[in-house]
Amino acid sequence: MADTVRYIAEEMIPELEDFEKRKYFTKVEIKQMVKKRLQFEYLLKRKVPLKADFLRYIQYEERLEALRVHRREERGMAGKHTMSEWAIPRRIHFIYDRALRRFKGDLDLWTRWLQHCRAAGSPRQMSKVLTRALQLHPTEPRLWSHAAGFEFEDHHNPAAARLLLQRGLRICPNSIPLWLETFRLELLYAHQLRSRRHVLGLDPGTKAEVLQSDPLGDAPELEAAATAHHALEVQDQPAAASQPSIPQKAGEPAELDALSHVHPTSPTATQDDGSSLSHLPPEPSGNGHPAVLMFGAVGSEPTNGADDTTGQPGSSDDAAFKRLLEGSIAHIVFKNAAEAHPHRLELRSRLLETLRPFTFPGVASLSQDILADVALRFLDDPQAWDLRARAAWNPFGQPSGAHATKCHAKEHLQAATAVYEEAVQQLSCLEMYRLYAAFLQEVLSEHAASDEAGRPHKQSTAELLCNVFERAADKGMASEEMLLGWAALHMAHDRSEAAAAATMRSCQLLPASCALWQRRLALLAQSAAPQVAQAGSKKERRAVQQVLQAAADEGVKHVPAPASAPLWLQLFPAFQALALPCSTLAQLLLHQLMGLAKGAPESAMGQAAAAAVKAVWAQDGPEAARQLWQRMLTLPPPGLAVFNAVLDLEIACEAAEASKQGPYRIQQTFEAAVDAYGQTDVNLWIRYIQHQQQMVQGRLQGLQGTKGSMQLSSSCLSSVDALGSTPRATQKSRPYHKRERGLRARSKNFSSLQQHAQAHVPRAHPDVEAAPSSAADADELVLSLSVVKSINEVDPAEWDACALGSGEVNPFTLHSFLKSLEDSKSAVRQTGWLPQHVLLKTGGSSPQLLACCPMYLKSHSYGEYVFDHSWAGYFSRSGTAYYPKLQSCVPFTPASGNRLLVRPDAYAPALSKALGKGLTDIADQMGVSSLHMTFNTEQEWQTLARVGFLKRNGIQYHWQNNGYSTFDDFLMDMKQSKRKNVRQERKHVHNSGLKIERLTGDALKPHHWDAFYGFYINTSDKKWGSAYLTRDFFDQLQASMPDRVLLVMAFEGDKPVAGALNLIGSQALFGRNWGCAWGLNVKFLHFELCYYQAIEAAIERGLSRVEAGAQGEHKIQRGYVPSLTYSSHYFPDASMRSVVNNFLQRESMQIDYTLEALSLEAPFKPSPAGTTIDMPV
């Protein structure tokens, strides 16, 4: 690496010396330039360089070049160009070249290079880049379009551009963009020829046309060139008298450049600038591909013009050339494109869009042919009729100025409406009426700023639009948008009564439309306001109010919730303004809320409920609003807005007039709010705490000279600790906000809990710092039991000292693994895994950690692999909440190992028992339904049974190493048929061409993890599961314990296509996750990566077993024998414990029978005398 970078640096020396010589840069700047370049070069020489490094390098060089150019212009530096002028551009091209050798498939990078070539004025380099790009990506239409545009616009070589597009269409026959680009090319070419003839004076009548139709933007240059040409004619009459001809423009070579060699088999370009059609290939006979038939000889077609019968020499060529100037080749392109895509209306529409800027003769005829094809092929498509009608409104090939539009607007509108009328008669569908109405609305908007002379025309258009709306409504083919436009049209013309009638009819057609009812009620309220004000008697006023009230009642009954929320928000202010009873409306809202589930915090129905409470409070007073609020509390909460509204009203009321009940009501409202939304809304807790602080500070200010301390309510503090826990099961006898408390009312801040467990541990324990102070406590030691909410609160060295107490290194219980789960947000509150790690420490001023246990507060049963869904169902049927529960395990990991992590010494059993007893005390005091410890050891299983845990067994499949030296040694212990099957499976994978590697330590790179994370996500998606592990988890795992990670990867070339993740212990290899790329179908690849490669790795490392995850009886035939697993379960409720115990006894009998039956299917040969094959039971 260093040698290559040094070589590149030495190559900079001449250009750097020239920079200094020409005074573009100072010595200090050149030093900075070299330093920066070397930094980039080292980045590019990494084993896995990033695309971003190349782009930053290019950006730096581009800015450097811009600075050089600026200084040259600013300082007026002239003279002969030296190396300084082209050194930086050459380096930029060099960087692009290196980037695309590594990222060949990145089309964005190719496009960047092409854009740079064009901006830098490097046509030769651009030709080379296009050649390489097309060789690598011949099926990318945009590259062919880019190449054709380069030849036509930069090289002024239409022949080469035409040939490139023709080649592109042969390779990509279904590409609509290529057909469009070819069509545009021929139109531009015809426009270019007409412009040249105007400049040469051959067609004086085309001047106005050229200036009006200027898609290339060269009209001013053409006019100047025409003036200069006329001046030359005046000076040199004999030269003007000679017969002019169209010279070949400089820059149009007879042969194609590097781009013509993209496909060596294609014919090379001939000298053809398009002015002579005799060089075009003849039209082949038979059913050729449209891309091949596209450029048939135009001159050979029969003509209908008078020029064909003149008998003058060359009249046939003149007629052909005239048709060429009128876009005949574009017409051929259209025909062949239509044949290639007979059912694509989009193609015709975009062809017309491409044709729109051109106005030369022939454009109108070409547009008519396209529209005729649309009419023939798409009779049943509303969009086709709309396309034809809009073409009639704005014809092709005509001037687009304002004067022309005013002169012909009436005729064009009549032609367009005639097409629409025919369409609605033939199709008579909602979409057709919608398009018709949308067109007329656009016409009205275009003429909105017209003068008084255009008012009759606008009036007739509005009447026509109104008629369309009415007909659509009569046939039941009006959309909500159309009906809203109908009412808006009447309102725009000051026809309020007609608008009200239209909205009434609209609500009858679409009674569930909230927007239509809003429009109707807004019109009724608008008209009712002056009538109520002018009413002479109370009876008249009440009659007007009843009309609005009846309409409101009808609307809220027809519009379902929660779609009705905007309607409610409109009705309550209207009822207040018209003095209508808001309490009646609130009762209707309560009726709707009864049928809804709990709403999201930001739910619109919550805002509607808030509006109801505010309206009743303002109209009927606080007591009526509080009664309404109490009724809402018995329903599922509609949203957080109503809680905030009640709090605002109560706090304002308390500030205005203090009362004894005010603080209590506020406190109760806060409690109801956090019960409903405290698990998801942190701002609610902040507001609650701030209010408590203000209350305490207010009380302290009233105490003169008294020192006090602020103490928040224990309910509030304990609720903050339980933020994010899952609610308890619903109970019938409790209000909704109390039924959904979750852990808030019973989860305590165990980070400050000091539970003292009495353990009879002699003072000879090595971790005890000092002797007891008296003889009375010489035989026992007071231990402190606490719970922490994050593994980061525990010293890693102390935790690992306990984790290694059994003498076996289990990577899943190490501090670094658990820390990776938490820091990567994989096992945290948001995923239902709230850490509650238990610590057992010595007492005194310097406590030492003696034992610990990883534990989580769970709101579900996912990611555990010991299934208790039937228990949760039984709890629910019994009217008791099963969640939340405590779970001592390694999240998402069915790997066996110690869960009671105790420092190694002679008193470890006593500490284990003390820790187990402490777990039961924690479960009792937290009030959870149960505590579960899964995949623990048999010894822990027995220890916990003595302190009240129930025992449960499961079955996994483990491979046992019986002193094997190689994989073949292992196979020799298997039966012949099983051994043959294994070898055939491995051979099949080997013959697939995949390369398999086992990576660990520094061999693992970020791109390996990127690929594996994609495989992991694919596996979760295939199983309709959730991917708990985040991408950051694998990075942290690699950083914290790289030597414990073994990643088995399968490569297709250099591309990873599958992988299996394993973790390495001191005695076992643990298989965890597997996945592959989408669409990969290599038989037995899963067995190879997950089972056979794991066995080979275990043999190489001398490990005693391989645990390949949960379940899978198919593993038996591959050498993984059934093995018992252990789990312990504690239930504080005695009745529930008895029920579960009965279940486990029956299950245990089935497990024993299954284990015995599966052991008979072992693939191993009968053991000879004196030897054994380990079969754990």
Q: What CATH number should be reported for the domain holding residue 589? A: 1.25.40
Tokens describing residue 670: 């806060």
* Contact between 1033 and 1074 (Cβ < 8 Å): no
Residues 179, 97 within the same domain:
no
Tens digit of pLDDT for each residue in 546-571? 888 888 888 888 899 889 999 999 99
Q: What pLDDT, on a 0 to 100 scale, did the predictor assign at position 794?
A: 95
Report the C-alpha gap between 479 and 1027 in whole angstroms. 42
> In which band, very low, low, confident or very high, does the pLDDT at 258 lie, cut at 50, 70 and 90?
very low
Tens digit of pLDDT for each residue in 837-862? 999 998 777 888 999 999 999 989 88
pLDDT at 263 over 70: no
Residues 917, 973 within the same domain:
no
Q: What pLDDT, on a 0 to 100 scale, did the predictor assign at position 817?
A: 96
Residues 174, 286 within the same domain:
yes
What's the average model confidence in pLDDT over 646-673?
Answer: 87
Report the C-alpha gap between 472 and 478 in whole angstroms. 5
Residues 440, 531 within the same domain:
no
* Contact between 261 and 255 (Cβ < 8 Å): no
In a domain, 1147, yes or no: no
Q: How many domains does the chain have?
A: 6
State the amino acid at position 844 in one-letter form: G
Report the C-alpha gap between 192 and 211 in whole angstroms. 12
Among 652-661, 696-705, 960-969, 1025-1034, which is the least confidently predicted range?
696-705
In a domain, 263, yes or no: yes
Report the C-alpha gap between 1126 and 183 in whole angstroms. 74
CA angle, 246 then 252 then 256, to 5°? 140
> In which band, very low, low, confident or very high, does the pLDDT at 1048 lie, cut at 50, 70 and 90?
very high
Report the C-alpha gap between 136 and 427 in whole angstroms. 48
In a domain, 351, yes or no: no
Which residues touch 313 (CB under 8 Å, ≥6 apart)?
none
Tens digit of pLDDT for each residue in 199-222? 887 765 554 454 455 555 544 444
Q: Which of 1070, 1103, 1136 is the last residue of a domain?
A: 1103
pLDDT at 742 over 50: no
In a domain, 443, yes or no: yes
State the amino acid at position 848 in one-letter form: Q
For residue 1148, how many C-alpha atoms fall within 13 Å in the half-sphere facing its CB?
A: 12
The counts of H helices and E strands in the chain are 47, 16
DSSP 322-382: HHHHTTHHHHHHHHHHHHH-TT-HHHHHHHHHHHTT--STTHHHHHHHHHHHHHHH-TT-H
Residues 37, 140 within the same domain:
no
Count CB-CB contacts under 10 A for residue 157.
26
Among 360-364, 771-775, 939-943, which is the least confidently predicted range?
771-775
pLDDT at 757 over 60: no
Closest CA to 857 of 893, 830, 897, 896: 830
Residues 224, 159 within the same domain:
yes
Tens digit of pLDDT for each residue in 21-38? 888 899 899 898 888 888
CATH of the domain at 916: 3.40.630
What's the average model confidence in pLDDT over 235-259?
Answer: 35
What is the sign of the dihedral through the CA atoms of 372, 375, 378 and 384? positive
Q: 């059993």: which residue's tokens?
A: 909
Residues 874, 1007 within the same domain:
no
Q: What pLDDT, on a 0 to 100 scale, did the predictor assign at position 1099?
A: 96
Among 533-542, 695-704, 1120-1129, which is the least confidently predicted range?
695-704
pLDDT at 250 over 50: no
Report the C-alpha gap between 355 and 330 in whole angstroms. 10
| Helix, strand or coil, per DSSP, at residue 218 | coil
pLDDT at 753 over 60: no
Report the chain's mean pLDDT, rounded to a whole number.
Answer: 79
What's the average model confidence in pLDDT over 431-458?
Answer: 76
Domain that holds residue 55: 1-103
Among 149-158, 844-853, 1103-1112, which is the least confidently predicted range?
149-158
DSSP 763-818: TT-TT--S--SSGGGTT-EEEEEEEES-GGGS-HHHHHHHHTTTSS--GGGSHHHH
Report the C-alpha gap between 747 and 740 in whole angstroms. 14
Closest CA to 303 of 280, 277, 336: 277
Residues 759, 688 within the same domain:
no
| Helix, strand or coil, per DSSP, at residue 1089 | helix
Most confident segment among 248-257, 513-522, 1093-1102: 1093-1102
| Helix, strand or coil, per DSSP, at residue 888 | strand
In a domain, 127, yes or no: no
Exposed / middle / buried, residue 701 (Cβ in 10 Å: 0-12, 13-18, 19+): exposed
Q: Which of 455, 480, 510 is the last residue of a domain?
A: 510
In a domain, 899, yes or no: yes
State the amino acid at position 269 in one-letter form: A
Among 338-342, 699-703, 915-919, 1140-1144, which is the least confidently predicted range?
699-703
Which residues touch 338 (CB under 8 Å, ≥6 apart)?
347, 348, 373
CATH of the domain at 1056: 3.40.630.30
From residue 265, how far is each of 147, 260, 261, 708 by CA, in Å?
18, 10, 9, 95
In a domain, 733, yes or no: no
* Contact between 853 and 837 (Cβ < 8 Å): yes
What's the average model confidence in pLDDT over 758-769?
Answer: 33
State the amino acid at position 1059 in one-letter form: G
Q: What pLDDT, on a 0 to 100 scale, did the predictor assign at position 399?
A: 62
In a domain, 1159, yes or no: no
Most confident segment among 252-256, 549-553, 711-715: 549-553
What's the average model confidence in pLDDT over 416-433?
Answer: 88
From residue 299, how far is each of 311, 360, 751 by CA, in Å?
16, 20, 93
What's the average model confidence in pLDDT over 225-236?
Answer: 38
Tokens describing residue 755: 């539970």
Q: What pLDDT, on a 0 to 100 scale, did the predictor assign at position 955?
A: 93
Tens digit of pLDDT for each residue in 606-627? 999 999 999 999 999 999 999 9
Report the C-alpha gap between 662 and 650 in whole angstroms. 7
Closest CA to 725 of 740, 711, 709: 740
Tens digit of pLDDT for each residue in 913-964? 999 999 999 999 998 999 999 999 999 999 999 999 999 999 999 999 999 9
Higher pLDDT, 368 or 254: 368
Closest CA to 820 of 500, 1072, 1085, 457: 1072
Q: What pLDDT, on a 0 to 100 scale, did the predictor assign at position 193?
A: 86
Report the C-alpha gap between 298 and 549 in whole angstroms. 75
Closest CA to 1055 of 105, 264, 298: 105
Report the C-alpha gap between 282 and 297 in whole angstroms. 6
Which residues touch 1165 (CB under 8 Å, ≥6 apart)?
973, 974, 975
Residues 138, 215 within the same domain:
yes
State the amino acid at position 640 in one-letter form: L
Q: 């090289």: which residue's tokens?
A: 155
Residues 934, 981 within the same domain:
no
Residues 926, 808 within the same domain:
yes
pLDDT at 788 over 90: yes
Residues 450, 587 within the same domain:
no
From residue 298, how far is each of 195, 277, 323, 552, 630 by CA, in Å?
21, 7, 8, 71, 86
pLDDT at 57 over 60: yes
Report the C-alpha gap between 760 and 763 in whole angstroms. 9
What's the average model confidence in pLDDT over 727-756?
Answer: 35
DSSP 190-203: HHHHHHHHHHTTS-
